[in-house]
């Protein structure tokens, strides 16, 4: 009996390894114009082909449901990888039973040093820290919202057009003090520039937040959400359905901002990921 268990475990490891290799070979052939770019790094996206079956598979990663889309007669899992994940082997759960392995490879992000005149935006008071924690609870709830939408958009248009003043993943230092990596793009455009929804969705959060200023979060379905911060004037309300291209607000400099710009973030299964993997007309970084 013990020998049989060892043989079965050995066969299972071989099957897992072989299937993992097949996933990556198939993922490499995914058409870029239809799915996000496959870049399995911290802060990136893994696009994995799934075993053939008629019904939509159920996939989860780190205990959270994962986007599954149909493309060219195959099912694909589109997995957001948190910036905090270390390089190495990760695993998904398929239909609650099977473990699917994939490899996260290392990526080095540059650093950015920023000088903030308002010291409270670097070292908040105790009262301000309480507000920041309340803000975080509201934002986390919004981006974790799950809508079982079949026609979820997997390519995004730019919400505004301009150079990037801060790119994704930067190791940030405010007044010389280290802070969390940058979780989106800062797009340098004049105050008052209209902000357009990059795809259809539902507004799940609007409000004024300590660091983010006036902010909007749009749920696009299956764990894909987009975030817009430092807005001057919000032009949508919570619960509103928006169309691609619809104006949702105007650019400002509210919250922790040294000048007018839009902070645009993309969240996938509650992981902040690089917007460059979703857009076809990515801007260049400002010099």
By the 8 A CB rule, do 78 and 59 touch? no
What is the Cα–Cα distance from 225 to 149, expressed in whole angstroms?
13
What is the Cα–Cα distance from 125 to 28, expressed in whole angstroms?
49
E strand or H helix at 49, and its extent? Answer: strand 45-49
Band (pLDDT 50/70/90 cuts) for residue 150 is confident
Dihedral sign computed on CA atoms, order 274, 246, 204, 136:
positive
- Is the per-residue pLDDT at 263 higher than 90? yes
Q: Which SS3 state, helix, strand or coil, does residue 85 take? A: coil
The predicted pLDDT at position 52 comes to 85
Please write the tens of the pLDDT for every residue from 205-237. Answer: 999 999 899 999 999 999 999 999 999 999 999
Task: Using a pLDDT cut of 90, give the percent of the chain over it.
Answer: 63
- pTM, two decimals, is 0.82
Number of other CB atoms surrounding residue 51 within 10 Å: 14
Task: Using a pLDDT cut of 70, give the percent of the chain over it.
Answer: 79
Band (pLDDT 50/70/90 cuts) for residue 285 is low
């Amino acid at each position: 009996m013990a020998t049989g268990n060892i043989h079965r475990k050995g066969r299972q490891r071989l099957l897992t390894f072989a299937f993992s290799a097949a996933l990556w070979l198939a993922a490499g052939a995914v058409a870029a114009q239809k799915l996000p770019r496959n870049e399995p790094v911290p802060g990136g996206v893994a696009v994995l082909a799934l075993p053939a079956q008629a019904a939509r598979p159920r996939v989860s990663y780190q205990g959270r449901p994962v986007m599954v889309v149909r493309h060219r007669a195959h099912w694909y899992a589109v997995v957001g990888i948190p910036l905090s994940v270390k390089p190495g082997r990760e695993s998904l759960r398929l239909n609650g039973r099977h473990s699917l392995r994939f490899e996260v490879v290392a990526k080095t992000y540059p650093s950015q040093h920023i000088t903030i005149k308002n010291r409270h935006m670097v070292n908040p008071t105790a009262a301000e820290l309480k507000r920041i924690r309340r803000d975080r609870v509201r934002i986390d709830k919004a981006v974790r919202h799950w809508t079982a939408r079949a026609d979820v958009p997997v390519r995004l248009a730019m919400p505004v057009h301009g150079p990037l003043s801060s790119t994704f993943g930067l190791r940030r230092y405010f007044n010389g003090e280290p802070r969390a990596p940058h979780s989106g793009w800062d797009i340098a455009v004049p105050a008052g520039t209209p902000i357009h929804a990059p795809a259809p969705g539902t507004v799940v959060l609007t409000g004024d937040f300590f660091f983010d200023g006036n902010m909007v979060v749009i749920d696009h379905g299956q764990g894909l959400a987009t975030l817009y911060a430092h807005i001057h004037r919000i032009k949508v309300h919570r619960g509103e359905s928006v169309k691609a291209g619809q104006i949702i607000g105007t650019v400002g400099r509210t919250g922790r901002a040294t000048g007018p710009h839009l902070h645009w973030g993309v969240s996938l299964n509650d992981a902040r990921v690089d917007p460059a993997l979703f857009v076809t007309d990515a801007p260049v970084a400002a010099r």
